[in-house]
Structure 1
Amino acid sequence: MAASWADLPPELLELCSRQLLLEDWFAFRSVCSTWRAAAFKERFDFPWLMLADEDKSAESRWAEFRCLFTLRIHRVLLPEAKSCLSSRGWILTIGKDSEMHMLNPLSRAATRYRDDIIVLPSVNKISGSDYDEGSDYDELVVKFILSASPASSPNYTVMVIYWPSGPLCYWKPGNEEWKLLTLPDPLDPVLENVLDVIHYQGQFIGVNSFGSILRFDPDGPDPIEVLLERPQEFRDLIKFCVDLYLVESAGRLLLVSHFRLLEDSKDYTTGFKVFAVDLDTRQWTELESIGNACLFVGFNSSFSVHVDENQHSIKPNCIYFTGCCDMGTYYMEDGRIEFDKKADYNPHPPLWIDSPPLWIEPSF
């Protein structure tokens, strides 16, 4: 019989640690060095997947997160939300009352929910907008982009993309409402269907459905500028894709085109193309390989991860994707697609369409 709690057998302590909620697992490891050593190993320098939410009835929200290293699923308490989006490891929640909050779900669990939640203006408080007061704004927000993590910089900007017309709104700490990015000529179609935006080399860079690369400068005299049109030789490739994503990988700006096919009332992914976009030389280059990098695209703000020999659970030269009707891994080497068989493929629409699966970028 153990003389003290610290003397319990390591295998028993490890088994106990596997039964805990994530916040209790952090507390378990802080008891003493013996318990820390015995606890099962979890990794926070890996991407995580926030699983789709199919429970619309719960007033308090327990979200499920899967670590791609251990493949374990953890439940984390989030504020009540109708929908969620992710960027730089942070979650943007939109409640049924249109209230918006921002938080880092994994660091909150580590501090047993003592981290402050950042309260943003309501989604329907948009300066300069002519949206109908009765609109379901939460159903229109499709992307959330942070210029920097609020944990590392107080001078960050939040940008969101609205669907289907693609206007962009932004917010900075201290502002009481969202501000709408507008063009001098309201008939200019450049802002139609902005599909993705990232913060790249100190500026917001976006892509629209035409394949045009755009720059957004909320504080500048020219808030929106077309940097680069899609090259003629790639027009057919871009024309027939259904989604475009921008990703920074090893300092390069990558454009990822996502192809899907509708067949027998089922929409499924058929492939991807990746282009390196050089804004200085104004050149596009189609890539056959992305080397030791892997890309994470979908409803999240896209990101890349460098894969080394110790990261066996994620694979290099691959694209990890989520979509409206499927999710999985695309292998650049041979074009093979490995679908996640646990995903809900109901296309009419999926039960989780309000709160889809989200890749969570490593952030702490």
Structure 2
Amino acid sequence: MEMIVQRLSLRDRIRTGLACKSWNSVCMRGHIRGAPEAPWLVLPQDPNCNYLSFTNLADGKVHKLKLPKPIHGSRFYGSSRGWLIMIQEKRLNSKMFLFNPVSGALRQLPPLWTIPSFKKFVETEWVLCGTGFFFRHIVLSTSDINDSECIVAAIFDNLKVLVMCRPGDKTWSGFQVLDENEHHYQLLFSSTGKLYSLAISNIKSELIQPRTIKFGDVEVELILVYDNEEQNGIDFEYHNDYKISLNGVYESFLFESTNSEVLVIHQIRDVFEIRTSMDDEDDEELELEGGNHQDDDEEEHNMQEESDDELEEGNTDYNDHEYFRTSGFKVYKIDPETGDFLKEQSLGDQMLFLSSHGSFSLRASDFMELDRNNIYFATKGIDSFNVHKQFTTREIGTFCLDNERVKRSFPSVQESMGSRMSWFTPCLG
């Protein structure tokens, strides 16, 4: 396997076009003054693009970062501990890289074809969205990928197999630790070295189950976290071409707090189902402008409720396109002694940065420009696997636990079926 390690000086990076001036001026500022750098949001990327776009929370501007030549045309698939995960799509010869945009380090991970199910996936499902359907989540145990103890863990394909490697390995190692009716959903490497997996099961009564995985010459402590089903009261509203299920679904996320506690976050969402009578073009161009009953006090909503008789007379069939609107969050702490989920009313001097492909917590007192007790979220507003064109999402905003309100102060972004966005915290690596 070809191994690429690239480290360039800041001057060389500017000269070769690896980083633009605006990126360096913003990204290096925090490291020069010794203060932590404010998080960045990696925006959805066009396929075969040679640069990435970032929104910086410190200045609210969008900066562009040119990718190094070895990964030109690669797709962004997430971030972990200051590293961007990039995949160069070449069907069976697809390659995965770790890229640190601050230090310029670039490291190739084992080929995807060493994962047994990848060949079958390429033969049967590649045309749908390339590796977008194969790749779920990836985490690093440490930001120092040259550390002999560094482990990369990932969930691929059918969500049932956990795979791991060390930077420098030639193959991925797979582990089957779940029952037939279960699947992995998200991973977390804690600061203690334990690997947590958020697992979904309909029959487990115990919420926490420890396992031990033999990986090479070490034993990795795996903690399976079976999510506690959220019981929400669902109300329905009808508005023009939508049936709206208020608090209809939730999505779960794993976090480690700044106090080294493991948290489970539930993102509560309203569900918009679109009737088949809606014009296809309008369907794909839809932008949900918040519409959230918790957005702003002065915002008024004109949800005209239809009677049951009117609905029976009209076309009440709905297609498969479901749009989601965040209505709130619930925070639970895992009790290390009992394994119970304890509801938290406040994050204290913390902020959570939540996205499907890169999440972390930070101390609010380290950042003058950001607010404590807030969840900064960036998630998709649609089941993008059902939509084959670009769509607009406004599911980027903040949730304040003090007043339990959602604010969408970020601009809309254009996403496509295979695109990803993720929070990213710069580090020198």
State TM-score, norm by structure 1.
0.75
CA distance in 1 between counterparts of 2:273 and 2:226 reads: 35
Query: 1:6-155 counterparts in 2 under 5 A?
Result: 20-23=21-24, 25=25, 45-53=37-45, 55-58=46-49, 61-78=50-67, 79=71, 80-97=73-90, 98-108=94-104, 115=105, 117-127=106-116, 131-134=120-123, 135-136=125-126, 138-139=131-132, 140-151=134-145, 153-155=147-149
Instruction: Specify whether residues 293 and 152 from structure 1 end up closer, same or farther in structure 2 by C-alpha distance, changes over 3 A only.
Output: farther
**Deviation of the 1:102 alpha carbon:** 0.6
- Within 5 Å, give how 1:1-364 maps onto structure 2: 20-23=21-24, 25=25, 45-53=37-45, 55-58=46-49, 61-78=50-67, 79=71, 80-97=73-90, 98-108=94-104, 115=105, 117-127=106-116, 131-134=120-123, 135-136=125-126, 138-139=131-132, 140-151=134-145, 153-162=147-156, 164-183=158-177, 187-190=179-182, 192=183, 194-200=184-190, 201-210=192-201, 212-213=207-208, 215=210, 217-219=212-214, 229=226, 236=231, 241-249=249-257, 250-265=259-274, 266-308=323-365, 311-325=367-381, 326-344=395-413, 350-351=415-416, 353-364=417-428
Deviation at 1:213, TM superposition (A): 4.1
Percent identity of the aligned residues? 21
Give how far 1:187 is off.
Answer: 4.7
State the alpha-carbon separation in 2 of the partners of residues 138 and 245 from structure 1: 22
Q: 1:164 to 1:257 in 2, by over 3 A?
A: farther
Q: 1:71: how far off?
A: 2.1
How many residue pairs get aligned? The number is: 313
CA gap 1:268/1:127 in 2 versus in 1, 3 angstroms: same
Q: Is the 8 A contact 2:254 2:265 kept in 1?
A: yes
What is the rounded CA distance, in whole Å, between the counterparts of 1:281 and 1:213 in structure 2?
A: 9
Q: Is the 8 A contact 1:293 1:304 kept in 2?
A: yes
| AA aligned opposite 2:78 | L
Q: Which runs of 5+ in 1 are unaligned?
A: 1-18, 30-35, 109-114
Runs (4 or more) in structure 1 with deviation over 3 Å come to: 40-44, 127-133, 163-166, 210-218, 220-231, 239-242
Q: Is the 8 A contact 1:181 1:223 kept in 2?
A: no
Structure 1 match to 2:302: none
CA deviations over 1:278-312 (Å, ceiling 9, x no partner): 2223232101111110101112332100011x623
Q: Which runs of 5+ in 2 are unaligned?
A: 1-19, 233-246, 275-322, 382-394
Counterparts in 2 of 1:219 and 1:267: CA distance versus 1, 3 Å: same
- Distance in 2, matches of 1:208 and 1:74, equals 36
Give the secondary structure class of the aligned counterpart of 1:138.
helix
Is the contact between residue 376 and residue 398 of structure 2 (CA under 8 Å) also seen in structure 1? yes
Cα displacement (A) at 1:197:
1.0
CA distance in 1, matches of 2:180, 2:374: 37
The CA distance in 2 between the partners of 1:92 and 1:333, in whole Å, is: 34
Measured on the aligned residues, the alpha-carbon RMSD in Å equals: 3.4
Q: CA deviation at 1:241?
A: 4.3
Letter in 1 for 2:424: I
Q: Deviations over 1:140-199 (max 9, x none)?
A: 21211001113573421111122553432111133211121113xx75434x1x221111
Q: By how many angstroms is 1:52 displaced?
A: 1.5
Residue identity matched to 1:206: S
Q: Given that residues 241 and 260 in structure 1 are in contact (C-alpha distance below 8 angstroms), is that contact kept between their aligned partners in structure 2?
A: yes
SS in 2 for 1:124: helix
Superposition deviation, residue 129 in structure 1? 7.3
- Give per-residue Cα distances to partners, 1:87-133, cap 9 Å, x unaligned: 0110110112121111111222xxxxxx3x10112223215878445
2:249–2:269 contact (8 Å) kept in structure 1: yes
In 2, are the aligned partners of 1:160 and 1:170 still within 8 Å (CA)? Answer: yes
TM-score, normalised relative to structure 2: 0.64
